[in-house]
Amino acid sequence: MCPANARTHADSPPTASYAEWAVAPALDESVACVWAAQIGADGDRHVQRVIPDGCIDLVFCEGELIIAGPDTESVELEVVPNRSYVGLRFRPGRAPAFLRVPASELLDQRIAAAEVLGARATALSDSLASASSLRVAAAVLEKTVTSWLHDAQPSDALVARACVELQTPRADWSVSTLAAQLGVSERQLRRRFQHAVGYGPKLFERVSRLRRFIHAASSPHPGGLAALAAEAGYADQPHLTRECRELTALTPAQLLGYPVTAA
């Protein structure tokens, strides 16, 4: 997988650049952003860690269009100098409507887009290859996915409501309470969540809580890690430490100052 989906990244070389752009209102409900990254010719190859965010990305790099599925844990990717990347990031639960494949089939996968999109991938790759700049390529991605809206399947509104709930800290959160609130069984909630997001609501809640911590920790905080843990919705600082280790293989201190990316 090309490292510049760069959903949350650190230790980038000085010659690296990354930018995100908001999409038009027609796509805003389904797409978090389009983005581009440029890795300069200077500097050595290095490993970059991608943190889970619940999203699915379309990524174009070196003439190859791929789909980056939802991650269940962080992924180490090799960054190669003198390469450029452009991508489009679907919000959690929204990609299946456009890609016409369950998110669960893309779980922890980086696959050639042609395997999912068929002829649509070929046409899009050709357009991206001829773009005059990364910004133009990002606009091509946005325009193309907008054109897919007409034939897109409806997104699961119940899962969309569940994602909103799970992205908000709740002391009494559980799958059973969420299912009851939404008026469905736990089994149905899990099944629909796995189809739309790729994995179950409990893991999505953990990923969302981790993102809240990363967001809060992106700037200095007077209360330290204990206060950041409470703000993000962790029971205590040890809980934060365990979750960071399990989802990222890093400590909370190592995540301080990580870039915040759209999701």
* Tens-place pLDDT, residues 161-176: 999 999 988 766 789 9
- Between CA 153 and CA 6 the distance in angstroms is 28
Residue 261 lies in a domain: no
User: Are 161 and 144 contained in the same domain?
Assistant: no
Specify the higher pLDDT residue, 79 or 7.
79
Neighbours of 170 (CB within 10 A): 12
Tell me, what's the pLDDT at 45?
A: 65
Render pLDDT for 213-232 as a digit per residue (tens, 0 to 9).
999 999 888 889 999 999 99
- What average pLDDT score do residues 3-13 get? 42
Residues in the chain: 263
Total structural domains within the chain: 2
Asked whether residue 165 falls in the same domain as residue 142, the answer is no
* 16 found inside a domain: yes
Q: Residue 8 pLDDT > 90, yes or no? A: no
User: What single DSSP character describes residue 168?
Assistant: S
* Co-location of 142 and 241 in the same domain: no
Same domain as 182, residue 115: no
Q: Mark whether 81 and 15 lie in a shared domain.
A: yes
Residue 142 has pLDDT above 80, yes or no: yes
Residue ranges making up the domain that contains 66: 3-151
Do residues 120 and 194 share a domain?
A: no
Res 68 pLDDT > 70: yes
For 209, other C-beta atoms within 10 Å of its C-beta total 22
Residue 11 pLDDT greater than 50, yes or no: no
| Same domain as 225, residue 122 | no
Judge whether residue 201 has pLDDT over 80. Answer: yes
